[in-house]
């Protein structure tokens, strides 16, 4: 479904800003509380959190993060869930969000109503109120939504903290996200909180740009990541993508991005058996050991390498935002 309409009467250009905001308020329903905690004042007044405050931001942009093939409800769900995935990677819990919209006058009111219906459902599902936002007009065929999410964590787990000898683990299965998972994923909030409570966990991040790019971002200086390629949990969609592209399923598992799984660094000095056994009791989702951090040579410093032969893997792999590759 295209977000845009050829009819002025069926587009946002037929409304003034006050009327549009009133529509949005009505569409969100219970997902936005009354002011001052929700929409209706210059700022939303939020209660203090008990742990460390967390703040993250992510957009969805037409032509970049979605196209006409994605229903508006799924566009909205993806917007909220990709922010929730950041909170999950810190071991946190979400509380409230504000939404910035940039839209052209030809945006369909029907499409926008369905977008907010999807946002309401996701907000209620993940107990995250939409408490305010802003609207800006744009030219051409434009829809861009940016969500800023506020949360908290008892023990915020950062990306950095691993050392040579530490083990690398990942939740779920990787690769082939463009075949559907990029919009239909589940943010690993419960799993992130569980992992953050474990002393063996030294660092975490969510996999958004692909293992080939995200894992090196977690490395300390003068270190490399040695990947046990046979252990990487391949999504069946990675195999289907490989049939189309001619690349290997491993390539897609490492380079596609938008897996929204948790990449976890575990203490290499610890006995990991109790953690892995407890995980298996509490979750059906796999947690797979896929490699470790190691001291690097000048050539392998900062790189992902094959544990079997030391070769550098996918040195320019993963999603590169400014080049779009």
Burial of 134 from C-beta contacts in 10 A (0-12 / 13-18 / 19+): exposed
CA gap 169, 17 in Å, rounded: 48
User: Is 53:156 a contact under the CB 8 Å cutoff?
Assistant: no
At residue 204, the pLDDT reads 98
Indicate the pTM of the whole model: 0.95
Binding-site residues for ATP, please? 133-134, 159, 208
At residue 325, the pLDDT reads 52
Query: Under DSSP, is residue 155 helix (H, G, I), strand (E, B) or coil?
Result: coil
CA gap 305, 313 in Å, rounded: 5
Q: State pLDDT tens for residues 222-244.
A: 999 999 999 999 999 999 999 99
At residue 320, the pLDDT reads 67
User: Is 90:54 a contact under the CB 8 Å cutoff?
Assistant: yes
At residue 317, the pLDDT reads 81
The stretches in the chain having pLDDT less than 70 are 319-325
Phi and psi, residue 93, nearest 5°: -125, 135
CATH T-level topology, domain 8-153: 60s Ribosomal Protein L30; Chain: A; (3.30.1330)
Phi and psi, residue 293, nearest 5°: -85, 145
CA distances from 223 to 96, 163, 167, 227, 266 (A): 38, 8, 13, 13, 15
At residue 81, the pLDDT reads 98
Instruction: Give the HSE-up count for residue 205: Cα atoms under 13 Å, Cβ half-sphere.
Output: 19
CATH T-level topology, domain 167-306: Phosphoribosyl-aminoimidazole Synthetase; Chain A, domain 2 (3.90.650)
CA gap 258, 177 in Å, rounded: 6
Terminal alpha carbon distance of the chain: 26
CA gap 293, 303 in Å, rounded: 10
User: Which residues have CB under 8 Å from 314's CB, separation 6+?
Assistant: 212, 251, 254, 255, 304
50-87 burial: b if 16+ Cβ within 10 Å, else e: eeeebebebebebeebbeeebbbbbbbbbbbbbbbbbb
Binding-site residues for Mg(2+), please? 42, 56, 58, 86, 134, 206, 209
Q: In what order do the strands lie in the sheet with 262-266?
A: 201-206, 262-266, 167-171, 287-295, 223-227, 304-306
Question: What would you report as the CA-atom Rg of the chain, rounded to the nearest whole angstrom?
Answer: 21
At residue 25, the pLDDT reads 96
At residue 125, the pLDDT reads 98
CA gap 137, 3 in Å, rounded: 15
Retrieve residue 18's tokens: 């006050």
Instruction: Give the HSE-up count for residue 14: Cα atoms under 13 Å, Cβ half-sphere.
Output: 12
At residue 324, the pLDDT reads 52
Q: State pLDDT tens for residues 21-49.
A: 999 999 999 999 999 999 988 999 998 99
Query: In the chain, where are the structural domains located?
Result: 8-153, 167-306
Retrieve residue 170's tokens: 């990942």
At residue 279, the pLDDT reads 98
At residue 316, the pLDDT reads 81
CA gap 82, 199 in Å, rounded: 26
Binding-site residues, please? 42, 56, 58, 65, 86, 133-134, 159, 206, 208-209, 258, 319
Binding-site residues for substrate, please? 65, 258, 319
Tell me the residue length of the chain: 325
Strands (E), 5-128: 52-61, 93-104
Query: Under DSSP, is residue 282 helix (H, G, I), strand (E, B) or coil?
Result: helix
At residue 128, the pLDDT reads 97
């Amino acid at each position: 479904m295209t977000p845009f309409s050829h009819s002025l009467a069926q587009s946002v250009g037929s409304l003034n800003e006050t009327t549009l905001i009133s529509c949005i308020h009505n569409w969100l329903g219970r997902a936005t509380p009354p002011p001052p905690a929700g929409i209706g004042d210059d700022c939303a007044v939020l209660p203090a959190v008990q742990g460390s405050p967390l703040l993250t931001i992510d957009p969805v942009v037409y032509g970049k993060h979605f196209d006409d093939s994605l229903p508006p409800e799924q566009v909205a769900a993806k917007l909220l869930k990709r922010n929730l995935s950041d909170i999950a990677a810190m071991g946190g819990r979400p509380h409230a969000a504000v939404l910035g919209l940039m839209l052209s006058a030809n945006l369909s009111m029907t499409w926008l109503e369905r977008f907010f219906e999807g946002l309401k459902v996701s907000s209620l599902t993940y107990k995250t109120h939409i408490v305010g936002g802003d609207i800006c007009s744009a030219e051409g065929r434009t829809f861009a939504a940016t969500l800023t999410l506020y949360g908290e964590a008892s023990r915020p787990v950062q990306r950095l903290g691993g050392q040579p000898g530490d083990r690398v683990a990942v939740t779920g299965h990787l690769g082939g996200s463009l075949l559907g998972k990029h919009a239909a994923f589940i943010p690993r909030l419960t799993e992130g909180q569980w992992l953050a409570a474990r002393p063996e966990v030294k660092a975490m991040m969510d996999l958004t740009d692909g293992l080939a790019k995200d894992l090196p971002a977690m490395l300390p200086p003068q270190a490399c990541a040695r990947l046990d390629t046979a252990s990487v949990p391949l999504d069946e969609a990675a195999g289907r993508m490989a049939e189309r592209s001619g690349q290997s399923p491993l390539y897609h598992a490492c380079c596609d991005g938008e897996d929204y799984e948790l990449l976890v660094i575990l203490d290499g000095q610890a006995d990991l058996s109790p953690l892995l056994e407890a995980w298996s009791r509490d979750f059906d989702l796999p947690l797979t050991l896929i490699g470790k951090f190691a001291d690097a040579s000048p050539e392998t410093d900062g790189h992902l390498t094959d544990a079997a032969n030391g070769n550098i893997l996918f040195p320019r792999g993963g999603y590169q935002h400014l080049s779009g590759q």
